[in-house]
Structure formats: structure tokens, C-alpha cells
């Protein structure tokens, strides 16, 4: 353990020194402006500044290649998927077609027993269609929906401090006791939406995965990200490869 910590400290120091040296080198090269090769009127030139940038790119590519090989070998090792995972979806006035595709991709996730929580930023009549789509896709008999007059930080109309606490406890209990739930709450912005899911979950699950309501998830995304987290205890978080679908102008998240 002490050896691993020592190696970790050395890696941090080495990375920091490399970054500082690179920054100083680039700055000095830019100021000096020394050129190795140059043509008349500077149509083509290659100097110290470009050499440092090129070296940096090569070093980055080399270490990325080595790290990718290491991760690929580690991910081939089978692990037990016995950790609990909750997927939190943030929704706000989403295009119905995008939301349906997002939820259909959620249903195709291969991670066993994943909990799904969609929190809608807004609880007016104009927002109900998103809750209806959630029930339609996730199954009316397999999912729970709840319209909350407030959120964790703002009381609803005519609500007292005591009734606000009771409503927060009710929302928390709904999240903890259901595998698939959609909550419509008082508008408060995306941070408030994500806070609701995180606060209600507490420490009831091992990992939390988040996405927007216009994101299509690869079926294996949850499994592969958990593999990375389980393989290396030094990894505190992992993200998917988010790509833009230029045909339909939506985001897709893969691993």
C-alpha cells in the first residue's frame, strides 16, 4: 500500500513538472521565435515553438496508446456485476421523439437491476407529456410517477416548513422503493433536477450514472463504465464517448 502511494505521488509530481516545463518551454519559444526552417516571406516555417508542440503531441499519443492497451487488457478480465447502479435522467421541455428514443435506449441497457430516475424540471400542464412518455415507454405497471409541487430547496404554494420536510421525505421514499420513477418538480434549473436525484438516492447505490433526456445510450455503456471503476480503485469517475448524430441532431453516448 505504501509503495503504491509512493508511486502515485511520484506520478503526480512528474506530471506536474512536465506540465510546468512544457508551459515554460512553449512561452520561451514563442518569445524567442527561433526558426529551424523558413522560406522567403515565411510561406513555410518550422521553429522551436512548433517543435515543442509536435513533441508534446507525440508524447501524448504514445502514453494514450499505452494506457488504452492497459485498459483493454484489464477490461477483458471478467468481473462480477454485483454493484448497484442508478441512472439519473434530467429532462426539460424535451422533444418527444428524442425523449422516446432516450428511454428506449435505457430499456436496452444490459446492466442487471439498474434503477432509473427521471426528474423533470417543471411541473405545469405543459410538462406532463414527458411524464406520459416515461410511463408509456417504461411501462405503466412497472414505473411510478409523481408530481411534486416544490423541490428540495423551494417550498410550494402555501406550504409550511414542516409540510416541506414531509414532502422531501416522501420523494426520497419513492425513489428508494421503486426501480423506475419519474418526478415532475417545481422549476429550478438543471442543478436542482440533478440534486433531487442525488439527494433522494443518498448512499443507497454504489454508482450513479447521469444523462440528458436527448441522449441515446449504448446497451453496454453502464456495464463497461462499471468495469473501469471496479478494475482500478484509484478511478473516481468515468465518462462515456459522447458523439453528435448529425443526421438527427441528437447526442449518443457509447463506451
SS3 56: helix
Most distant CA atoms of the chain, gap in Å: 79
Separation CA 217–CA 241 (nearest Å): 10
Q: Are residues 235 and 132 in the same domain?
A: yes
Q: CA geometry: angle at 152 spanning 149 and 158, to 5°?
A: 40
DSSP-assigned states of every residue in 132-157: HHHHHHH-TTT-EEEE-SS-SSS--T
Residue-wise pLDDT for 16-35, tens only, equals 888 888 788 888 878 887 78
SS3 64: helix
Q: Are residues 124 and 222 in the same domain?
A: yes
pLDDT at 251 over 70: no
Separation CA 102–CA 212 (nearest Å): 8
| Phi then psi dihedrals of residue 36, to 5 deg | -80, -45
Residue-wise pLDDT for 43-87, tens only, equals 777 788 888 888 888 988 898 888 778 767 665 666 778 999 999
End-to-end Cα, the chain, rounded Å? 31
Determine which helix (DSSP H) or strand (DSSP E) holds 118, and give its type and residue range.
Answer: strand 115-121
Contact 130, 165 (CB under 8 A): no
Contacts of residue 235, defined as CB under 8 A and 6 or more positions apart, other chains included, come to: 228, 229
Q: Are residues 188 and 153 in the same domain?
A: yes
Q: Are residues 95 and 68 in the same domain?
A: no
Residue 16 lies in a domain: yes
Q: Are residues 101 and 215 in the same domain?
A: yes
Q: Cell 432516450 maps to which residue?
A: 102
Supply 1's cell numbers: 500500500
Residue-wise pLDDT for 92-140, tens only, equals 999 999 999 999 999 999 999 999 999 999 999 999 999 999 999 999 9
Q: Are residues 211 and 91 in the same domain?
A: yes
Separation CA 100–CA 46 (nearest Å): 52
Residue 141 lies in a domain: yes
pLDDT average, residue stretch 154-179: 93
Q: Are residues 134 and 174 in the same domain?
A: yes
> Any idea what the CATH number is for the domain that residue 101 is in?
3.90.550
Which of 104, 184, 98 is closest to 137 using CA atoms? 104
Residue 79 lies in a domain: no
Residue-wise pLDDT for 169-228, tens only, equals 999 999 999 999 999 999 999 999 999 999 999 999 999 999 999 999 999 999 989 988
pLDDT at 5 over 80: no
Domain coverage including residue 241:
85-254
pLDDT at 249 over 50: no
Residue 42 lies in a domain: no
Residue 80 lies in a domain: no
Domain count, the chain: 2
Q: Are residues 90 and 169 in the same domain?
A: yes
User: According to the model, what pLDDT value does residue 241 have?
Assistant: 79
Amino acid at each position: 500500500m505504501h509503495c503504491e502511494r509512493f508511486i502515485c505521488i511520484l506520478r503526480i509530481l512528474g506530471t506536474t513538472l512536465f506540465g510546468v516545463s512544457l508551459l515554460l518551454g512553449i512561452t520561451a519559444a514563442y518569445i524567442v521565435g527561433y526558426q529551424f526552417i523558413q522560406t522567403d516571406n515565411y510561406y513555410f516555417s518550422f521553429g522551436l515553438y512548433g517543435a515543442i508542440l509536435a513533441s508534446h503531441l507525440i508524447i501524448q499519443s504514445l502514453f494514450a496508446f499505452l494506457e488504452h492497451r492497459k485498459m483493454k487488457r484489464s477490461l477483458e478480465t471478467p468481473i462480477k456485476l454485483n454493484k448497484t447502479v442508478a441512472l439519473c435522467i434530467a429532462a426539460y421541455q424535451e422533444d418527444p421523439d428524442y425523449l422516446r428514443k432516450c428511454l428506449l435506449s435505457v430499456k436496452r441497457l444490459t446492466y442487471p437491476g439498474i434503477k432509473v430516475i427521471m426528474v423533470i424540471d417543471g411541473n405545469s400542464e405543459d410538462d406532463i407529456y414527458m411524464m406520459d412518455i416515461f410511463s408509456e415507454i417504461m411501462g405503466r405497471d412497472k414505473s411510478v410517477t409523481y408530481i411534486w409541487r416544490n423541490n428540495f430547496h423551494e417550498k410550494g404554494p402555501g406550504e409550511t416548513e414542516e409540510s416541506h420536510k414531509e414532502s422531501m421525505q416522501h420523494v426520497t421514499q419513492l425513489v428508494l422503493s421503486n426501480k423506475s420513477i419519474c418526478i415532475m418538480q417545481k422549476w429550478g434549473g438543471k442543478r436542482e433536477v440533478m440534486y433531487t436525484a442525488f439527494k433522494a438516492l443518498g448512499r443507497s447505490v454504489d454508482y450513479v450514472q447521469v444523462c440528458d433526456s436527448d441522449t441515446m445510450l449504448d446497451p453496454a455503456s453502464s456495464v463497461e463504465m462499471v468495469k473501469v471503476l471496479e478494475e482500478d480503485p484509484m478511478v473516481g469517475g468515468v465518462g462515456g464517448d459522447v458523439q453528435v448524430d448529425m443526421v438527427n441532431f441528437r447526442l449518443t453516448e457509447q463506451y
